[in-house]
Copies of this chain bind each other. A is one copy, B any other.
Amino acid sequence: MKKIINDPNHVVQDMIKGMVMANPKTVKQLEDTLIIARSEAPIANKVGLVSGGGSGHEPAHAGYVGKGMLDAAVAGEVFTSPTPDQVLEAIKALDSGKGVFLVIKNYTGDVLNFEMAQELAEAEGIKVEKVVVNDDVAVEDSSFTTGRRGIAGTVFVHKIAGAKAESGASLEEVKAVADRVVKNVRSMGMALTPCTVPAAGRPSFQLDENEMEIGIGIHGEPGIERKSIATADEIATELTNKVLEDIEFSIGDDVAVMVNGLGSTPEMELYILNSKVHEILNEKGINVYKTFVGEYMTSLEMAGCSVTLLKLDEELKVLLDAESLAPAFLN
């Protein structure tokens, strides 16, 4: 294992310290927790937006904490759900009376722990609503998941629900728009290499020298198929078509595109892929409103990518374009 770390069992704490030091004006760490919150939180008369999950997906989720996106991100250990008491802590710290909205990726542990925290918070009189993101079209049910997994499309939920909350919307209004994003966002990924969880010390699975896996999850959960490495154009075609099959598009529809790197794929390769994604959408008469190419939801140093499409209506466009001061999504 080749990593720039100190103690493999202390990477999350060390990372959070370095994140807060890098962005002292934007974020703070809540004392004795693995929670990063907006420095000015709780914010009066604003729905609090909380997300989080296992670490190792940076910049998700702490990089999305900031004005116009999340109010707090709760970090679990690497690829491990945060505990209910940590999520509860975040809810309590964030609530300004207008309620707290939870954005949860669809993994059994995350759903369980966030829902338990929701119940405990509600028992204390805090209004809590949630959305479960399940944008990955690759497989139904997987290791750690019932139904579809939540992957890079989650970032669009953060952005759009965040902008809605920032505008002063009610908890119900934030939930309505987040539900609409989940209904309209689909993703699919592939990997060329595994990654190594620091505390484990060795890769969680193996891929042969000429092999790739289509439909893999962001923790290396099995995908659809292992096969020989294809060209960028073939990979883009397979991922994009699978996404397009799953959601109804009409000619002239507007979409946001995210071509996301899983960790060690050079930006060069993501741009090469992006070119074919656009070509496919152009051919189908689908209009690309905005494109995001980069690392938004990673799996440590896994090589690979995902393609996300979000079908946009007029309100979603406005919210996507709204200001964000989150370090990993300046807008």
Contact = CB atoms under 8 A, between A and B. Distances in A.
A13 to B, nearest CB: 10
A35 to B, nearest CB: 16
A91 interface: no
Nearest to A292: B22
Given A291-B23, A300-B268, A330-B330, A275 B2 contact: no
A62 to B, nearest CB: 9
Q: For chain A, what secondary structure do more than half of its interface residues adopt (helix, strand, loop), or is it mixed?
A: mixed
A232 B209 CA distance: 30
A99 to B, nearest CB: 31
Interface string A271-299: 11111001000000000100111010010
Interface in A231-289: 231-233, 235, 259, 263-275, 278, 288
A59 B294 CA distance: 10
Nearest to A304: B4
Quick one: copies of this chain in the complex? 2
Given A6-B231, A192-B4, A266 B56 contact: yes
Given A4-B272, A209-B2, A269-B3, A291 B22 contact: yes
B275 A21 contact: yes
Contacts of A192: 2-4
Contacts of A303: 2, 264, 301
A15 interface: yes
A305 interface: yes
Contacts of A169: none
B274 A22 contact: yes
A16 B293 CA distance: 13
A6 B233 contact: yes
A312 B35 CA distance: 32
Contacts of A292: 22
Interface of A: 2-6, 11, 14-19, 21-23, 55-56, 58-59, 63, 192-193, 209-210, 212, 229, 231-233, 235, 259, 263-275, 278, 288, 291-293, 295, 298, 300-301, 303, 305, 330-331
Which 8 residue pairs spanning A and B have beta carbons closest together?
A: A264-B264, A18-B271, A18-B275, A58-B267, A330-B330, A18-B274, A4-B269, A22-B291
